[in-house]
Structure 1
Amino acid sequence: MSSINTNVAAMTALRSLTATNNALTETQARISTGLRVSTAADNAAYWSIATTMRSDVSSLSTVQDALGLGAAVVDVAYTAIDEAKNIVSQIKDKLVAAAQPGLDREKIQTEIGELQAQLKGMADSATLQGQNWLSVDSSAAGYNASKNIVASISRAGGSVSVQNITVDTSSMVLFDSNAAASGILDSTRNATTGAVDAAGTFTIATLDISALTDSTADLAILDGYIKGADAAITEMAAGATTLGAASARIDIQKSFVSSLMDAMESGISQLVDADMNEESTRLQALQVKQQLGIQALSIANSSSQSILSLFR
């Protein structure tokens, strides 16, 4: 039946053209943004997952910065303690030289004194971002020998937690302002063995050989100084080893975080990115379909004109 009130063909053609236009608009939006899921309306589940993953990637970027800062702090401490170890080795050499009878120990002490002053200055200057792991005051409020470096974040059951790399700095403290504690260089040491001893009689930072003579007793004291310097070198080497291990772990963690970010970015891409090859092909098909739909609608609208010929 032909009707001038209801043009079924035109209505069908219009619906088809509207659907094509909507699909064309969606495809153009995907091409312009590069995303097939750009809002929650596109795919609520994928959008939610991708949003959470993007947040975690952003946090991991901050973790990378924290690891870089932590690595710098460790490197500063390692450089200082390694150089301090070399200076104590020089002090030990001069003490060994002073064991030779007849030498002017007062002049040797002048050199040792300069090296001792250098040790203190070096430890005090090993500071980065307000952190100094070598010259401390363990009596200060909030002091903790265990230093945490933010290493990563983990998500379990919707809950996020921060993971840390912990460095125990107690084995590398060179000077401690706390009267009840001491570091490697300001610890009192046993005059016979050179080991740290609360009842000891000398420290590496303050030992003085200028008044020592060639007497048996004074040479025994000098021998204790040499053993003390040797023990301090061993202790600083242990501290440097701890720092070296921490530095290596930080480097490994930095590489892992970088790889993890790449993997998460790839996962986000799989969820929300548009396949541009597919979208470009779809765009061309929809453009042709749109043109055909316009023609079909034009034909459907013009079909009612033929009814006039029946009344001529």
Structure 2
Amino acid sequence: MSSVNTNASAMTALQTLAATNKNLSTTQGRIATGMRVAEASDNAAYWSIATTMRSDNKANSVVQDALGLGAAKVDTAYAGMKSAIEVVDKIKEKVLLAKATDSATERAKIQSEITTYQAQLKDNIAGASYAGSNLLQNGTAATDPTKLSVITSYNRGTGNAVTTGTIDVAFANTRLINSDPAAAAANKGMLDKNGAQSGTSILDIDVSDVTGVTGYVATDVGASFDKLLTDIESALSSMSTGAAELGASKARIDMQKDFVSKLSDSIDRGVGQLVDADMNKESTRLQALQVQQQLGIQALSIANSNTQSIMSLFRG
């Protein structure tokens, strides 16, 4: 039956063309954005997962920055510690040289060199600061931290409970000097605390006058020098241990930084598999839809022309 009121063919062609245009719009959007799931309406589950993982990756980016900052602080402290060990070694040599001579004049000259090394130690340690942190020297405030904590991970558990991992470097293991002159003996550093044998700190050694050395005996001055040397060796041993801890912390920070970088890349790949568009498929689909669109327009044109043929029936 032919009707001028209802053109079923045109309606069918129009519906088909509308569906094709909708699919074409979707495909063009995917090609333009490069994403298969750009909005929650595209796929609510995938969009939610991807959004959460992107948020976690932003946190991982901050963790990487924190690891880089922590590594720089530890590197700076290690450089300062290594330099301090070299200077203390020189002080040890001079103390040994002072023991080898009986001349007060020579010992005074040697002491002038030791005094220079002691000043160098203070300068090096004070300068081993990065971003306001100095692992080799205590501050004077009672609220000063007792350790350097470097954030290493961001973990989101059940119920969105968040925990962060850290690498801690205890200042007690790296402290060389306490800048608070009134600090208790227990809070002194490796270089400014009194030695167990000599009762003298590395920074207070004076080979021109060893009468202040614990147990000083005028007839056995050499014993006082031995006590100074023993305390210097103890300090060097503690400094070597501190340097080793800094080195181990730096190695761990570097490994964690590498891991977080790989983890971030892995999350990016996982998110991409959920929401990224396959451009090969989308380009092929685009061409097919463009052909369907052209055919739909042609079909609609044919369906509309059918009603015009009815007019020929009324021509005389």
How high is the TM-score relative to the length of structure 2? 0.92
Match of 2:280 in 1: 277
Output the CA distance in 2 between the equivalents of 1:238 and 1:190. 18
Match of 1:129 in 2: 131
Which one of 192, 196, 200 corresponds to residue 190 of structure 1? 196
Match of 1:164 in 2: 166
What SS class does the counterpart of residue 155 from structure 2 fall into?
strand
What SS class does the counterpart of residue 205 from structure 1 fall into?
helix
Match of 2:214 in 1: none
Do the aligned partners of 1:185 and 1:204 also contact (CA within 8 Å) in 2?
Answer: yes
Displacement of 1:144 after TM fit? 2.7
Change (3 A) 1:108 1:122: same
Counterpart amino acid of residue 251 in structure 2: A
Match of 1:203 in 2: 201
Output the CA distance in 2 between the equivalents of 1:227 and 1:96. 11
Displacement of 1:211 after TM fit? 2.5
Displacement of 1:142 after TM fit? 2.3
Question: Matched residue pairs, number?
Answer: 303
Do the aligned partners of 2:137 and 2:175 also contact (CA within 8 Å) in 1?
Answer: yes
Output the CA distance in 2 between the equivalents of 1:241 and 1:206. 26
Output the CA distance in 1 between the equivalents of 2:162 and 2:289. 44
Match of 1:246 in 2: 249
Output the CA distance in 1 between the equivalents of 2:272 and 2:115. 64
What SS class does the counterpart of residue 147 from structure 1 fall into?
strand
Whether 2:146 is the aligned partner of 1:140: answer: no
Output the CA distance in 2 between the equivalents of 1:288 and 1:209. 97
Output the CA distance in 1 between the equivalents of 2:219 and 2:254. 53
Which one of 183, 194, 211 corresponds to residue 179 of structure 1? 183
Displacement of 1:3 after TM fit? 0.8
Displacement of 1:169 after TM fit? 2.0
Per-residue CA deviation, residues 107-159 of structure 1 (Å, 9 max, x unaligned), is: 1111111101111111111111111111113x623223222101121121233
Per-residue CA deviation, residues 163-208 of structure 1 (Å, 9 max, x unaligned), is: 21111221110111252121000111133xx6xxxxxx21111011
Consecutive unaligned residues of structure 2, counting only runs of 5 or more, are: 212-216
Question: Percent identical across equivalent pairs?
Answer: 50
Match of 1:268 in 2: 271
How high is the TM-score relative to the length of structure 1? 0.93
Whether 2:248 is the aligned partner of 1:230: answer: no
Q: CA RMSD in A?
A: 1.5
